[in-house]
Amino acid sequence: MIHRPAPYRKTLAAAALAGALLAGVAPWPALAQQRQVPETREQVTLSFAPLVKQTQAAVVNVYGARVEKRPQNPFMDDPFFRRFFGDGGFGVPRERVQRSLGSGVIVDAGAGLVVTNNHVIENMSEVKVAFADKREVEATILLRDPRTDLAVLKLADAKNLTAIALADTDELQVGDIVLAMGNPFGVGQTVTQGIVSALARTQIGVGDAQSFIQTDAAINPGNSGGALIDMKGRVVGINTAIYSRSGGSVGIGFAIPSAMVRLVVDSAKAGVKTVKRPWFGARLQSLTAEVADGLGLDRPAGSVVASVVDKGPADQAGLKRSDVILSVDGVNVDDPESFGYRFATRPIGGTTMLSVLRSGKRISIPVKLIAAPETRPRDMVKLTSRSPLAGLTVGNMSPALAEELSIDTGNEGVVVSEVEEGSTAANVGFQKGDIIKALNGEQMTTSREVETILKDRRRAWEVTITRNGQTITSVFPG
């Protein structure tokens, strides 16, 4: 079972850095230049301590907090009861503070930027960062990117900071030694050692652009947002998830590659609130073994073009239905997820080269890297009228909004961008990314049309939506 190492819910002060396990190859300067299996006992007894000292100041603890108001006891509306029991209501506080604990990495010392996991600070209104030397400073949230489970914080005090450089993930190899640094279980800053167990892991189920680094370095609750460091002292990934039946580490951890981290950090530096990724404009499917055999391929690796959006980048490049995409800029892509990662990390404004199999022949097709267009104003509306849709925030469909929500661009209608927790809409089962097609048989094309029709009192509501390519019609009481 895949777990995000959920933010540890116990607040502890940062502790002294734990020692590293022993392993190594050759003297330290040579270690950063070559890969070599230890050949002598002396080589095995070398220490990671110099590398830890070099990087420990840049790995921080991230604390999030928010105040939750509890429902007030109805008796407390009566002054008589308040006189005897106070505003708390029979000894029960009307507010409580929810806290989370994770890790983060300073990636820009001058600007005071810290990268962490989005799920560490999700729904948190206050964030603090604690250093290994026990200093604490407040931080503001510059950018959240739920699609990658990354967030960027800005420290209020950016003095005397140490940052870690981001590595080129393409240089990483299976078997490379790595260190995982973070704050597991709130015990204090800790270092664990392991190797890169696998690269380009997809189908993990935690994020959209999936191409995770797998490692056997111990990652536990509280490690979320911490650094996976190579032997040159660079960040190769941000620790984000583990495979576990118990919630603890069993030696299968996953990190977001630094290439994706760089994209999110650069977006935060640019001052945007949403990460802009290249828009492909086509829907892909995995290549089955039967289809691969029929195409003369020796393995089912690649992505089949299932449909192409009219006038989108894929269409303009000449891609066609049933084309099989084999690589992006010379790097093989085994499935739609790995294609999505490779394509998403290309810089907007340039061109990427796809290797495509068409009618048994391999051809190269250049595709322009452009952001998805806002073809019409999204006009976001929060629905508050009494109805089964109360609590939804909806907007007008466009390629840009579809890209942000990871839904098929070819859909038309009004899309759900947010579902308020505990709302009527949440309780009846509406989900983010649902596309509202019709209400009581009347087609919906804009968010304002939905808002207007819901102002009418109805005894029943027939709602038609599209979800994951399927059309669903349900009837709810008014």
The model's pTM is: 0.75
pLDDT of the residue at 235: 93
Does residue 149 have an active-site annotation? yes
Architecture of domain 381-477: Roll (2.30)
Which distant-in-sequence residues (6+ apart) come within 8 Å of 248 by Cβ? 220, 221
pLDDT digits (tens, 9 = 90+) for 443-465: 999 999 999 999 888 888 999 99
Selection from 312, 244, 268 nearest residue 155 by Cα: 268
Contact present, 215 and 234 (Cβ < 8 Å): no
Catalytic residue, from 108, 145, 149, 334: name it: 149
What is the sign, positive or negative, of the torsion defined by CA atoms of 401, 404, 405, 410?
positive
Predicted confidence at residue 383, as pLDDT, reads 93
Q: What is the pLDDT of residues 171-217, one digit of tens each?
A: 888 989 999 988 876 667 788 888 988 887 776 655 555 688 888 88
Burial track 381-391 (b if 16+ CB lie within 10 A, e otherwise): bebeeebbbbb
Question: What pLDDT is recorded for position 17?
Answer: 30
Give the chain's residues under pLDDT 70: 1-38, 41, 43-45, 66-98, 100, 185-187, 203-210, 242-250, 409-411
Query: What per-residue confidence (pLDDT) applies to 85?
Result: 46
Q: Which CATH number fits domain 282-368: 3.40.50.620, 2.30.42.10, 2.60.120.260, 3.40.710.10?
A: 2.30.42.10
Query: Which listed residue (197, 224, 249, 447) is catalytic?
Result: 224
Which of 3, 103, 108, 119 does the annotation list as catalytic? 119
Look up 385 and say whether it is catalytic: no
Main-chain phi, psi angles of 472, to 5 degrees: -125, 130
What CATH class is the domain 57-155? mainly beta
The domains spanning 57-155 and 282-368 adopt the same CATH topology:
no
The residue ranges of every structural domain in the chain are: 57-155, 282-368, 381-477
Which residues 6+ apart lie within 8 Å of 53 measured at CB? none
224 catalytically annotated = yes
Q: Is 65 left (phi over 0), alpha (psi -120 to 50) or beta?
A: beta
